Structure 1
Amino acid sequence: MPKDVFDLPAPSANSIVGHLFELGQDPLGFLTRCRDYGDIVPLQLGLTSSCLLTNPEYIEEVLKNRNDFIKSRGLRALKSLLGEGLLSAEGESWFWQRRLAQPVFHQKRINVYSEIMVEYTNRMVQTWHDGETHDIHEDMMRLTLLIVMKCIFSADVDAGEAKVVANALDVAMQWFESKRRQNFLVWEWFPRPENIRYRDAIAEMNEAIYKLIQERRNSGEKTNDLLTMLMEAKDEETLQQMDDKLLRDEVATLMLAGHETTANTLSWTWMLLAQNPEVREKLESELNQVLQGKLPTLEDLGKLVYTQQIIKESMRLYPPVPLMGREAAVDTQIGDYEIPQGMAIMISQWVMHRHPKYFNNPEVFQPERWTQEFEKQLPKGVYIPFGDGPRICIGKGFAQMEAALLLATIAQRFQIDLVPGYPIVPQPSITLRPVNGLKVQIKQMPIKTQVQ
């Protein structure tokens, strides 16, 4: 006989808004405290019944079952930005798109973008000077956007179009955060200032994307970029291809997921390295030994073991996506518990990645923990920076390669220190970004000569 999830222990709630106030004020802290209540923690968010999962087996159960557990109402609210792209599509539509796009993101195909990643990063650091103060988050956002647009569209997208896209994505993040605080109870079409800004930004972004798609169709040019591969992708059974609307949706999704998450990962990595000089010294030692002053290549990644451990540990402490939401599409079960249709399911990477049951000294930045043996014994559903199950992030390989190459390119040339006293506040929205940016001072490293 299934058990009632609402009989489980839970934090005390306000009789009118439930747990909405605590979640809105301090989502990461509140959800971390909820972990102490058990494997499933029932919560009431206004009129919405919800629960937080802290048992990795339950998390895997939900992530594997894409039919019973669909994307959350919050993410569905972003359809005006992402349309029916892979992040927001459901059911057969999602399955068809995923099957079509999967070969595009095969590791062998995306490996060709490693040179673009290093070239653009090197171009950026050539403009840096010793002693300058930077907002490193802003730098990483600009760099990763230029890289992903180059990988999608092949040609260097002009500064105006890049600015339009960057503005639209930034406005979308701010809009999503304001809606989250209101539990998505304020309709998007309502003529509030933030809604108008959001719609205007999307209209400008759409114009830029459709223009680039049309130019490609008119030119008939065959390139090795993501747009060409998506345009040429064909269903083997029906021979159906993506139309311009679906291409636009996939491009918008790639631009959001393909630059925001990597930029945030790198921003938090620079912060953690500045706070842990012994780790930074060990990184510099590896870079000197492996690269010997030259720019990193795809072939170097296998030898940059510690560099990649740093990225994994950074994504553990500051996961690119701190909270995933699902909704029960039907009456169903998780473990032995009844889950009614419409119930919101919360899975928090922030909570699981810092769980003392699975990580020794969970609050400590310790890249050395990421040995092959450690990863093998870690239960599925604990470390999920890219999600899991059939909807695991299709760009996982791209993001991991990009983060490691960018880190190696910059760290062998510059030491990045935090500006003392500058407030660093993580903002858990769609992604985890520093709300005030990240002010740093850059210090040029002595140039190492390449060993012939």
Structure 2
Amino acid sequence: MSTLDSQTARAVSVPREVLIVCGGHLAILVLWWMKQYWTARVQFPGPPVKNAWIGNLDQTMMPDIHDKWRRWHRQYGPIYQTWNSLVSRVIYIGDPAIIHAIGSENWDKASSQYEGFRCLSGDALFMPKAHAKWLRQRKSLSPAFGPQVIRMQQATLHKYITDFTHQIATAADQQHSVDLSMLHVLLTLDFVGEIAFGSELRALATGPECRIVQLFQKILPELMKCGLFPLRSKVPIFQATREMHGAIQELRQMAEDAVLAAREADVAEGSKEKPPRQIFEILVRQKEANGAYTFNTKDLVDNYVTFLVAGGDPTAHTLSFAVYEVLRNPKIHARLVHELREALPRLDGIPSAEHISKLPYLNAVIKETLRYNGPGFGTFRTCPRDTEVCGVVLPAKTTLVLWNPQVHRDPQIWGPDADVFDPSRWLEPGFRPLPGSYFPFSHGPRVCLGQGLAMFEISLTLATLFRQFDLSLPAGFEMEFDPAFTLCPKNGLPVFATRRQT
């Protein structure tokens, strides 16, 4: 060995005593972690882990995870856990009392879990943030989703429902089936795209080849996987993840173009003489007392893309699930059509907000759809320290999942007919779900801001559809479900339609 090599070897050598101490500290750390790991395993039951490095990802990343959530809830109890890796644990909360406490007290959202969604929504309202910042943004956004503003969107909704029913009527005249699942997606994209995204997407006019539909197909299935496993988004080794990022960039650019165009219109001469009516206009023009805009461009882009995704995808699938369940149940179908005939004598008209308020059974059908197969799953929360709620100690800095698919079908809550689609349960005298047992739009102060708008769109669409057409499913058709970003029909919703004569 050369003199230089000898000197280098002596320079980098580590005393044996230091190695022993470091090794001891490492061993203690490993033993401590193993104790924490196994203590956690004993604390809450859950599906077995076959590979400690990937936890339960071999099960939770599969297409049947929606069914697994319900099965695990009944098998392991209302509180169970899964693992995303060697050190990342997820605890599913299915006890209504605990859900109500966490939701109403507005526990912090689990930041690490929502990192998987940040590539799409940035710092939008539903993302984790300091309470003061969240409250300030919530108060600024709320006026655009008030009841009066929602009613002002009626003309726009009527326009697109007319286009929607025209396509069904054309298929009826040609005696062809029509995929209502796709039409529902196109309808909701057109409506939300115009009023809350600021763009005429022409989805119904273009059909499935519409660019926005293609973007959604690249974004939504992969986005849910990134939500369950955020590292997937940050280290995009999969082709699907890279395609998702590219589609998101294009979608956000569309939103930015819409914002800039609306801002230019706002400063143009005479633009202020026309009061804003649509949601995106209200938010773009909103100003503080000093005359500065309330929202900067990034704030609006973050929330616009979120409105489009959250307002389009779940609403469309709720419509499809409602139609499917009604058509599978002849008695429910007959009762709904009878109510619509009594309340809506005109065949060719689209109901108004006043009409909808007089359709209790339709409202019950929608509520039951959101219970039975609601498209939204829930919310991720956490707490800074070990916290006891209703006798259960929830561990600090662990992802807590307030998930509704299993809670909405729990026989201990809804009775032995929990797995039966029965809208009449909502019309029973004195019926009221336990707090925390029914939360299709989340629960507590963070309840979905667009809930009223979604219910308005669903109600008018279903009332028009079942009033104007007699619908039927193809013989033997069974819907398959896909838990992508939201629960959606995997094999569409083909129906045959005929125009009603009375």
CA 1:363–1:387: 2 relative to 1, 3 Å:
same
TM-score by length of 2: 0.81
Give 1:45's match in structure 2, choosing from 76, 84, 91.
84
Q: Does 1:419 find its partner at 2:474?
A: yes
How far did residue 250 of structure 1 move?
Answer: 1.1
1:381-425 deviations in Å (ceiling 9; x for gaps): 001000111110001111111111100011112233233345522
Q: Does 1:335 find its partner at 2:335?
A: no
Q: Does 1:20 find its partner at 2:64?
A: no
Q: Does 1:141 find its partner at 2:185?
A: yes
CA 1:88–1:170: 2 relative to 1, 3 Å:
farther
How far did residue 187 of structure 1 move?
Answer: 4.2
- Partner of 2:10 in structure 1? none
1:195-247 deviations in Å (ceiling 9; x for gaps): 22112212221222222211111122343111121123345699661011111
1:100-135 deviations in Å (ceiling 9; x for gaps): 011211112211112322331122211323132222
Instruction: Provide structure 1 residue ranges, at least 5 long, that are not aligned to the other structure.
Output: none
Mapped contact 1:319–1:432 kept (Cα < 8 A)? yes
Q: For 1:20-419, what aligned pairs fall within 5 Å after superposition? A: 20-25=57-62, 26-36=64-74, 37-47=76-86, 48-66=88-106, 68-71=107-110, 73-91=112-130, 92-128=132-168, 129-130=171-172, 131-152=175-196, 156-158=200-202, 163-179=210-226, 183-220=229-266, 221=271, 222=274, 223-234=276-287, 241-293=294-346, 294-360=349-415, 361-371=417-427, 373-376=429-432, 378-419=433-474
How far did residue 315 of structure 1 move?
Answer: 0.7
The 3-state SS of whatever aligns with 1:127 is helix
CA distance in 1, matches of 2:371, 2:447: 16
1:151-177 deviations in Å (ceiling 9; x for gaps): 226674456899343333332112124
- Partner of 2:26 in structure 1? none
CA distance in 2, matches of 1:237, 1:363: 55
Query: Number of paired residues?
Result: 441
1:308-355 deviations in Å (ceiling 9; x for gaps): 111111111111213432233444343333333331112221111111
CA 1:191–1:352: 2 relative to 1, 3 Å:
closer
Aligned partner letter, 2:279: L
Aligned partner letter, 2:223: F
CA distance in 2, matches of 1:390, 1:123: 36
CA 1:217–1:291: 2 relative to 1, 3 Å:
same
Mapped contact 1:115–1:297 kept (Cα < 8 A)? no
Once the two structures are overlaid, the 10-residue window that deviates more, 327-336 or 113-122, is 327-336
Q: Which has the higher helix share?
A: 2
The 3-state SS of whatever aligns with 1:200 is helix
CA 1:262–1:106: 2 relative to 1, 3 Å:
same
CA 1:19–1:197: 2 relative to 1, 3 Å:
closer
CA distance in 2, matches of 1:82, 1:268: 26
Mapped contact 2:377–2:403 kept (Cα < 8 A)? yes
C-alpha RMSD of matched pairs (Å): 2.6
Mapped contact 1:101–1:230 kept (Cα < 8 A)? yes
CA 1:218–1:42: 2 relative to 1, 3 Å:
closer
Aligned partner letter, 1:444: T
Once the two structures are overlaid, the 10-residue window that deviates more, 234-243 or 257-266, is 234-243
How far did residue 24 of structure 1 move?
Answer: 3.2
How far did residue 50 of structure 1 move?
Answer: 2.1
Instruction: Provide structure 2 residue ranges, at least 5 long, that are not aligned to the other structure.
Output: 1-38
Once the two structures are overlaid, the 10-residue window that deviates more, 330-339 or 124-133, is 330-339
CA 1:253–1:215: 2 relative to 1, 3 Å:
same
CA distance in 1, matches of 2:489, 2:457: 20
The 3-state SS of whatever aligns with 2:449 is coil
Comparing both chains, which one has the higher relative contact order based on Cα–Cα distances under 8 Å and sequence gaps of 6 or more? Answer: 1
CA 1:339–1:215: 2 relative to 1, 3 Å:
same
CA distance in 2, matches of 1:44, 1:154: 41
